[in-house]
């Protein structure tokens, strides 16, 4: 008898802990430069725009635009077999950074570049959640 392995779950590290804590609480948190105000993702020590090391974690709006996507029809990991086909998308957050995610609440063939999106949060258990997006 073959059993389906569990879905892979993110394992936050020191740099991403506040991001994942925010997701678990239903908030999209991003690192923001205190010197110039530029948001960044993923979290890192220096601002890409001005090289400042002064940062804060700020709540993002959850608004985004669909930039690009692919639809997977082949099973690359057995835990995703029941989800095929599924999309993996690149969305541009209203604050500027782009993140990889999934688009939910719409058929894959209805996805359109430039589509307005809003964040939704998928709890995975044990205090871990993922951010996904749906049409706004």
Instruction: Give the chain's domain count.
Output: 1
Range of the domain at 110: 17-135
pLDDT at 126 over 90: no
Provide the pLDDT for residue 7: 86
Q: Is residue 84 part of a domain?
A: yes
- Please report whether residue 63 resides in a domain: yes
Model pTM above 0.85: yes
Would you say residue 115 has pLDDT above 80? Answer: yes
- Asked, for residue 39, whether it belongs to a domain, the answer is yes
Domain membership flag for residue 7: no
In a domain, 113, yes or no: yes
pLDDT at 1: 61
Over the stretch 64-84, which tens digit does the pLDDT of each residue have?
Answer: 999 999 999 999 999 999 999
Residue 10 falls inside a structural domain: no
- Over residues 13-40, the pLDDT tens digits come to 999 999 999 999 999 999 999 999 999 9
DSSP secondary structure string for all residues of 50-94: T----EEEEE---EEEEEEEEEE-S-SSGGGGGG-SEEEEEEEET
pLDDT tens digit string along 34-64? Answer: 999 999 999 999 999 999 999 999 999 999 9
Whether pLDDT at 11 is above 70: yes
What is the Cα gyration radius of the chain?
Answer: 16
pLDDT of residue 36: 98
Indicate whether 42 belongs to any domain: yes
8 lies in some domain:
no
């Amino acid at each position: 008898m073959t059993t389906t392995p569990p879905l892979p779950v993110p394992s936050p590290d020191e740099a991403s802990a506040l991001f994942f804590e925010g997701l678990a609480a239903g908030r999209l948190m991003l690192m923001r430069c205190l010197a110039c105000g530029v948001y960044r993702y993923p979290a890192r020590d220096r601002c890409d725009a001005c090289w400042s090391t002064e940062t804060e974690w700020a709540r993002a709006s959850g608004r985004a635009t669909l930039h690009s996507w692919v639809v997977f029809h082949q099973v690359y990991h057995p835990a995703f077999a029941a989800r095929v086909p599924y999309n993996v998308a690149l969305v541009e957050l209203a604050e500027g950074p782009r993140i990889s995610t999934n688009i939910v609440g719409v058929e894959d063939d209805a996805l359109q570049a430039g589509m307005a999106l809003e964040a939704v949060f998928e709890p995975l258990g044990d205090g871990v959640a993922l951010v996904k997006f749906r049409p706004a």
